[in-house]
Amino acid sequence: MKPLEIPTMDMENKEVLRRIEVGGDMLLNMGPQHPSTHGVINFLVQTDGEVMKRAIPEVGYLHRSLEKIGERCTYNGYMPYTDRVDYIAAMFANQGWAMAVERLLGMQVPKRAEYCRIIACELNRISSHLISVGTMAMDVGAVTPFPYALREREFINDLLEELCGARLTYNYLRIGGVAFDLPTGYEEKVSTFLDHFEKILDEFNRLITYNEIFVKRLAHLAPISKEMAIDYCLVGPNLRASGVKFDVRKDLPYSIYPELQFDVPVGKGEVGTQGDSWDRFWCRVEEMRQSCRILRQCLVQIPKDSQVMGKVPRKIKLTEGLEAYSRIESARGDMQYYVVAGPGENAHRVKIRTGSFTAMGIIDALSRGLMIADLVALIASLDVVAPEIDR
């Protein structure tokens, strides 16, 4: 198919084209300010009535050139910026950066710090997935589960606030450890939350996951085959929903994950086709359950000493051209940092590869023949977050 010619704004006449005809089809802008796009993304939708012929994602509205900023600040100074890579799951962006620089330094992180990291990350994974499943239910028309999900997220936000003082952009991890040790009585608070939350998950499943209307709405919707998912480099829950059993935590274990027991939920096509939108939803719900399991083990196994920072030079200086690559399992899948060290105190190049970026690339191919309302469900089920696409 030859690329569609995209009309641009006529800047001379200051006339903004919102709606034009392309050979009998209608070309619509869905976005950039649209409640269901989960951020500022524009979709150029070519439609014939309700049926889409094509939807072309136009991204870049939230491009803050975080990669360029990474070349200008010191290794430690870049840590707060990584929060802004993905503000819904900021802890993972912290962790990816910390791990990449630790690989460059060739250093070990104290055991207790690793446990603190994993506790914070898994709490963050639950809160991120709660947003995802809540908004997805809302996008397809079920408003009730959204406040249920956000209510639980508030508890996690409170827990994380107690840990690091922030509710969204945590800046909790440091190169070589974490900023603060767990506060006193934190283990009990987390386990009280988990007792409560595991019951809520069952309730959530009864309320929405296996709800008949919801299942009928999402089953068989925009299925992604195994081969297609790998070809387009989908990662995380999107990939696992398509039946590929791959989790960086399991297959390329980092940190303390080898010591923890957990399962990797894989989409089975329980109610429809394997890899459809419902499978992606279900995968996230199941991952929350697995995160609870991981958290419980962490709370028992955490060492009782109080060392949470390793020995890091005050000014990190590395040999020019030294490079490292880190892969972690973020809430949105395989997040990768590629860092090349510069001559002074800052990096020569930082490349952040995120799950949402490649997930957006697949929408063009998947959208052909879908209804317009299904595009909303597709975007929500891929769980894309605009700042993570644009960085």
Q: Which two tokens stand for residue 290?
A: 């697995």
Q: Tell which positions 106-125 bind other proteins, by CB under 8 A.
A: 106
Q: Helix crossing, 186-204 with 111-139: angle to 10°?
A: 30
CB nearer to other proteins: pick between 122 and 388: 388
CB nearer to other proteins: pick between 285 and 366: 366
- Quick one: residue 266, left, alpha or beta (phi over 0 = left, psi -120 to 50 = alpha)? beta
Q: Please identify, among the stretches 113-121, 169-177, 186-194, 361-369, the one whose residues bind other proteins according to the rule CB under 8 A.
A: 361-369
In this structure, what are the phi and psi dihedrals at residue 382, rounded to the nearest 5 degrees?
-80, -10
Q: Tell me the C-alpha to C-alpha distance, in Å, between residue 311 and each of 97, 108, 248.
A: 17, 9, 27
Q: Please identify, among the stretches 25-33, 57-65, 77-85, 190-198, the one whose residues bind other proteins according to the rule CB under 8 A.
A: 57-65
Interface residue with other proteins, options 65, 108, 301, 307 (CB under 8 A): 65
User: DSSP 3-state assignment of 204?
Assistant: helix
The string over 260-295, giving b where at least 16 C-beta atoms fall within 10 Å of a residue's C-beta and e elsewhere, is: bebebbbbebebbbbbbbbbbbbbbbbbbbbbbbbb
Interface residue with other proteins, options 52, 88, 159, 324 (CB under 8 A): 324
CB 360 → other proteins: shortest distance, Å? 7
CB 212 → other proteins: shortest distance, Å? 35
Neighbour-count burial of 122, counting CB atoms closer than 10 A to its CB (0-12 exposed, 13-18 middle, 19+ buried)? buried
* 11 in contact with other proteins (CB under 8 A): yes
Neighbour-count burial of 24, counting CB atoms closer than 10 A to its CB (0-12 exposed, 13-18 middle, 19+ buried)? exposed
Q: Tell which positions 285-314 bind other proteins, by CB under 8 A.
A: none
Binding mask 327-356 for other proteins (x = CB under 8 A): -------x-x-x-x-------xx-x-x---
CB 103 → other proteins: shortest distance, Å? 6
In the block, residue with structure tokens 């008949």: 212
Interface residue with other proteins, options 26, 142, 322, 371 (CB under 8 A): 322
Binding mask 14-53 for other proteins (x = CB under 8 A): ----------------------------------------
CB nearer to other proteins: pick between 142 and 264: 264
For the chain, the distance separating the N- and C-terminal CA atoms, rounded to the nearest angstrom, is: 30
Residues contacting other proteins: total by CB under 8 A: 42
Q: Which two tokens stand for residue 24?
A: 């009998």
- Quick one: residue 373, left, alpha or beta (phi over 0 = left, psi -120 to 50 = alpha)? alpha
CB 125 → other proteins: shortest distance, Å? 21
Residue 58's beta-bridge partner residues? Answer: 42
CB nearer to other proteins: pick between 172 and 232: 232
Interface residue with other proteins, options 360, 378, 379, 382 (CB under 8 A): 360
Q: Please identify, among the stretches 99-107, 121-129, 160-168, 202-210, the one whose residues bind other proteins according to the rule CB under 8 A.
A: 99-107
Interface residue with other proteins, options 154, 251, 263, 270 (CB under 8 A): 251
CB nearer to other proteins: pick between 210 and 325: 325
Neighbour-count burial of 205, counting CB atoms closer than 10 A to its CB (0-12 exposed, 13-18 middle, 19+ buried)? middle
CB nearer to other proteins: pick between 254 and 338: 338
What Rg value do the Cα atoms of the chain yield, rounded?
22
d(CA 293, CA 138): 27
Binding mask 144-183 for other proteins (x = CB under 8 A): ----------------------------------------
d(CA 262, CA 70): 34
* DSSP conformation class of 74: B
Binding residues (CB under 8 A) for other proteins: these are: 3, 8, 11, 59-60, 63, 65, 67-68, 103-106, 228, 230-233, 244, 246, 251, 319, 321-325, 334, 336, 338, 340, 348-349, 351, 353, 357-358, 360-362, 365, 390
